[in-house]
Structure 1
């Protein structure tokens, strides 16, 4: 029979164990893997036909059965050991082309020897297929690299322009964001793995670069109409998609109505995708053991996933603070698990700044919880003592953070950490404002006001120096929110000049004018008139208009209320068209004054309110 020529017709292959177990038709286009197993990333193992067993048994040597059974058992044990590895689920598909297939070698045993273990083998592979099928939908990536999503193949942007914007991003906005390992995230890597991330990076630069207005409009339309619907409707998920959604939220254009702001929606989708990839558990794995067993590519991929979760955590906590929402990721004690993350092999220079920002955010949240506990536990007659204890704790914690992270001479030039003085002053203003927000103005102590005054003016003085217009234009929205918040606090402090002699109104006005000039310079440097620089520059400029700063003596003052920022209605030169009052105001300025804690929300909403003259007039005018 061996001399008989093979049949010219293809032999009918038996269905694989996975399709047999599901009672599905096993279809194969080419190769040995069926369509279903290829689509779901499962192991495609087929039972041997009787003809194949007979042919193999006639060709096998006497030693083959035992050796084949031994190799098969060793392979099964190896599968069990590798089953729980985190990197097994998160390894990028582009780097797996050379990896061996997860299939056992076909044992060359005789029919008599194979019969007793055939059912056990089939049971094992069918069980493994079901188990992998259940977990692959939760923790395995599904890349957004379809040709229909590619902005280059779709004609949205050409290859040379995309690569130029990509390099420009790393030189500008990438330094402030600290999202990427440049040794890993090259142009070819990003285009091969995530069209959403490529669009987000190019769009971020094109929005503010003169001469790229048409490209920015085309990229924005491609993201809104093609990429984001595909990510949401096709259940696409990857580390790069998390980075893209976080970046789109960080640089989101101000909306006409603060109620329609999409930043929180985009961050919510980023949190969902990250949870489907189990990124929140990546930092809890044994990194040292993984580094000993993995190569450089695996280590960089793992750190890329960890870096994506850290940046998402920071952005979500920051936006929750701006908007007054409760964070959904803050419950994870991130600071305790990433204290030495920046010291691991293959760490980037900006990783040190990320760890420091996590510690600073954790410090601020811990002191906020302390304030709530002290306020609930303190007797009405001892509130001043509890507040003094809280303020001293805030000062000590921030001083310790500064010594730990700013004493290094290299921190002054390190990406993102070079702005640490702004972060420290901003955190102190927030924490002191929280204390004043829950006190009656008559109880405000001079030492608290002095600390707030020094921190606020320190921020305003350092802002134009550390963030000149050419650099500020590439910063994400939180920097504009913080600058607007500090300006509003400074104007509130100017109201206290008659009561506290150390408050220098002329100095406050001079520093605020410097911040406005910086914002206007960034707006002039950007191409689009819808950027955050334009909106916040207009918002802060309206705060600093010549003001009639008085408070009605008959107006009652409630706990938590501060002296309102009072400005006359917008002049005719500022408003050339007739406007009407919003039908549903965000809040009524007559019912309660804005306290220090409300000013941050006001600063965040300023970008949207700056586009509505009626709302600005309502916010910054005191109606007698």
Structure 2
């Protein structure tokens, strides 16, 4: 007969579930004598488990709160630091700080609960196991809060997400762990004076007898909150730069005429009153942007732009941080004034400041409400470190008294996510236009934003934000896939197979996008996109071809396709710019840069066509001339605009003069020799008819008397299909010369304008 203590013995001998099974909340089955469970064996992954089973008393929620939670997490951090996990505590000084806070916490707990202390030694470190509650007595120092839950909890959903996030909050940030623990300690009246506890010396703190040391520490380690740039000497209304009615009028103008090109601001939340209480920088920036495009407001714009520049410098110097400051930097970037050189403007500075503040405010994290779980739409579990509770997010912004589930709370939280999505779109656009590597990190919010715009609280332009975010998010993967297909040619794949696969991947990618977004955000009857979204999509297609056009392993046929398709995309960008001029009056600098890039791309092709006497060259140059005129009109209207597009238009006009002179002196090139095929395949980009007719102002064409009979007026064509057909039917004979046609890759050395003037 088995002894009566057998159940207890079995309970003590129970093996703890491995960390992988605990994370998935599955039963961990480990064969007798095996150190690896069945599930980990099947998945061929490392199986590790606590040294002993961690359970809890039935009927008790095994959770920590308040100071007990802080004590537990400090013990975890110290244990990991002793075990050599430098990602938890990165220096001896930080470990010393944690030990001091731990001792102080224990003393406060002991005095509060009047319970005896029980010291155990684990890995050479002393750990307190004071039994402040029945559930704590069953928790070992070597376990995390998520490990302390029994298998029975797998079917129970937590009441609060904030409580569920006890899996060592802030473990990835030792400094933040110190700050939060210090805040908990400071909330309790010190009762440990004269207890004899000595604090080890540390470079982080001065002598304990120093006056005001506690206040300084509390200020340094205090809760992180937004720092607002609001004061009477900063407010443009208080300073008399504008009146309150003028501010209301300028805000209304912004939402009506500029919001379609500068996304991220919710007119329901960002009223004059709200913005004025949050950021003088944003208030001034929106007012200045509206005054920039409003006729007869030249003097007002000068006053506001000067004050805006002062506030930008002050924000950077004083380290003001808020969601509205991020939006202010974003509002200024599209129409920022040009410097003495094309690389001298403050775009990169403003963008880096916006990104830094956004990360400090955790705008990249998914907001979790009390009734939601950290899961993506695909069902994947999102790491806790990529999420933030709704209440904590509002607390960071300074809205401690706002209910996260109220309409106002939901809008305030959604404005955080909208700001991050808009910043992603802006940063990718700046990098594509200026040939720079991406800096803004890919986050779960970006990866799972496809349906973000489907909400009762959605703004008018939320769909446009998401459509371009998805397009630019997936572009990098498409470029990598196209390059990989070209690399397969070296491994023995046929040229025709490589070209077909490349065309298929690109066609599927853009077909899927164009079949989705015109229906959701555009004109459903004509299946057309908003003009600004359409021109961004055209830029993205051109960016794709410019990124792979000179790929070293691409076969000849693939290079023909890239260059012909790139020409079609470049001409389409110019066509959209000319036809949509009336709706692109607020054209951002990035768009002007990409239109100029398309013009230079097409101009390079026209120089090749010159040798064959093709009508393509004068047709391309006529379209570039129309685009140049449109850029100049956009950049100089109204008089205070002085936009960057004017400078690009002037340079393009000079380049056209050089190209025209060169074409008059270049002799006709000979026909291809007998070794080269006379009718090599000509690959063109043939997307579906996804772009509808445009109702726009067609600008002055080149005089008909100076044009050949077969001249093509590209600016009057209704869609990209007509462009492809026209290019394909002109028999331009570019195939024999494409091998010698080189164009700089996506690093955009094309902006070295001297290469065009030689």
* TM-score bucket of the superposed structures, by smaller chain: 0.5 to 0.7
Matched, 1:134 2:221: yes
Contact 1:464 1:518 (C-alpha < 8 Å) held by counterparts: yes
Q: Distance in 1 between matches of 2:268 and 2:287?
A: 19
Q: Give distance in 1, aligned partners of 2:313 and 2:528.
A: 34
* C-alpha RMSD over aligned residues: 4.3
Name the structure 2 match of 1:504: 616
CA distance in 2, matches of 1:131, 1:282: 29
| Partner of residue 161 from structure 1, selected from 233, 237, 246 | 246
- Say if 2:384 is the partner of 1:248: no
Deviation at 1:185, TM superposition (A): 1.0
How many Å separate the matches in 2 of 1:223 and 1:345? 34
The answer on 1:421 being equivalent to 2:557 is: no
Q: Which runs of 5+ in 2 are unaligned?
A: 1-66, 68-158, 167-182, 196-213, 374-389, 392-402, 670-739
In 2 relative to 1, CA 236–593 (structure 1 residues): closer, same or farther, beyond 3 Å? farther
Distance 1:245 1:287 in 2: 34
When residues 543 and 382 of structure 1 are mapped into structure 2, their CA distance, relative to the original with a 3 A threshold, is: farther
Q: Residues 208 and 526 of structure 1 are in contact (CA less than 8 Å); yes or no, is this contact kept in structure 2?
A: yes
Residue 284 of structure 2 aligns with which residue?
199
- Alignment map for 1:222-261 (pairs within 5 Å): 222-225=307-310, 227-261=311-345
Q: Deviations over 1:313-343 (max 9, x none)?
A: 1111111122222111143355422122111
- Report the counterpart of residue 484 of structure 1 in structure 2: 596
The alpha-carbon distance between structure 1 residues 415 and 175, as it changes in their structure 2 partners (threshold 3 A), is farther
Deviation at 1:476, TM superposition (A): 1.6
Structure-2-length-normalised TM-score: 0.54
Between the aligned partners of 1:409 and 1:331, the Cα distance in structure 2 is: 24
Report the number of matched residues. 464
Q: 2:578 aligns with which of 464, 468, 479?
A: 464
Counterpart in the other structure of 1:531: 643
Deviations 1:72-110 (A, max 9, x none): xxxxxx99957979xxxxxxxxxxxxxxxx99xxxxxxx
Partner of 1:307: 418
Distance 1:187 1:280, change over 3 A: same
Change (3 A) 1:206 1:363: same
The structure 1 residue matched to 2:743, chosen from 595, 598, 601, is 595
- Tell me the distance in 2 between the aligned counterparts of 1:287 and 1:444: 51
- 2:351 corresponds, among 237, 252, 267, to 267
Q: Does 1:150 align with 2:235?
A: yes
CA separation in 2, counterparts of 1:293 and 1:493?
A: 57
1:527 Cα deviation from its structure 2 partner? 1.7
Q: Secondary structure at the match of 2:273?
A: helix
Query: What are structure 1's unaligned runs of at least 5 residues?
Result: 1-16, 18-77, 86-101, 104-116, 554-591, 606-615
Matched-pair contact (CA < 8 Å) for 1:249–1:263:
yes
After superposition, residues 415-454 of structure 1 pair within 5 angstroms as: 417-438=530-551, 445-454=559-568
Alpha-carbon spacing, 1:79–1:596, altered in 2? closer, same or farther (3 Å):
closer
Describe the superposition over 1:152-208 as per-residue Cα deviations: whole angstroms up to 9, x where unpaired. 222333333333222211111112222221111111111121111011111112233
1: CA distance between counterparts of 2:620 and 2:247? 44
Q: Secondary structure at the match of 1:338?
A: coil
State TM-score, norm by structure 1. Answer: 0.65
Retained in 1: the 8 A contact 2:635–2:642?
A: no
Per-residue CA deviations over 1:494-541 (Å, capped at 9, x if unaligned) read 123268998722332332232222212213422226322322221332
What's the CA shift for 1:429?
2.0
Is contact 1:243–1:308 with CA below 8 Å preserved after alignment?
yes
Instruction: Decide which of 324, 336, 358 is 2:469's aligned counterpart.
Output: 358
Whose helix proportion is higher, 1 or 2?
A: 1
Deviation (angstroms), 1:479? 1.6
Write out aligned runs for 1:28-427 (5 A).
Answer: 81=162, 134=221, 136-137=223-224, 140-225=225-310, 227-282=311-366, 288=372, 294-332=405-443, 334-374=445-485, 378-379=489-490, 384=495, 386=498, 389-408=501-520, 410-411=522-523, 417-427=530-540
Q: Deviations over 1:277-314 (max 9, x none)?
A: 01111357778576996100011111111111111111
Secondary structure at the aligned position of 1:207 is classed as helix
1:300–1:293 distance in 2 versus 1, CA, 3 Å:
closer
Q: Which has the higher contact order (CA 8 A, sep 6+)?
A: 1
Contact 2:333 2:347 in 1 (8 A): yes
Q: Distance in 1 between matches of 2:569 and 2:550?
A: 17
> Would the alpha carbon gap of residues 230 and 445 (structure 1) be closer, same or farther in structure 2, given more than 3 Å must change?
closer
Q: How many angstroms does 1:272 deviate by?
A: 0.7
CA contact (8 A) 1:151 1:157 kept: yes
1:365-406: CA deviation from partner (whole Å, max 9, x where unpaired): 111222444455652876955465334312220111100112
Contact 1:200–1:247 (8 Å) recurs in 2 = yes
Q: Does 1:540 align with 2:652?
A: yes
Judged with a 3 Å threshold, the aligned counterparts in structure 2 of structure 1 residues 601 and 151 are, in CA distance, closer, same or farther, namely: farther
1:444, distance to aligned residue in structure 2 (A): 6.5
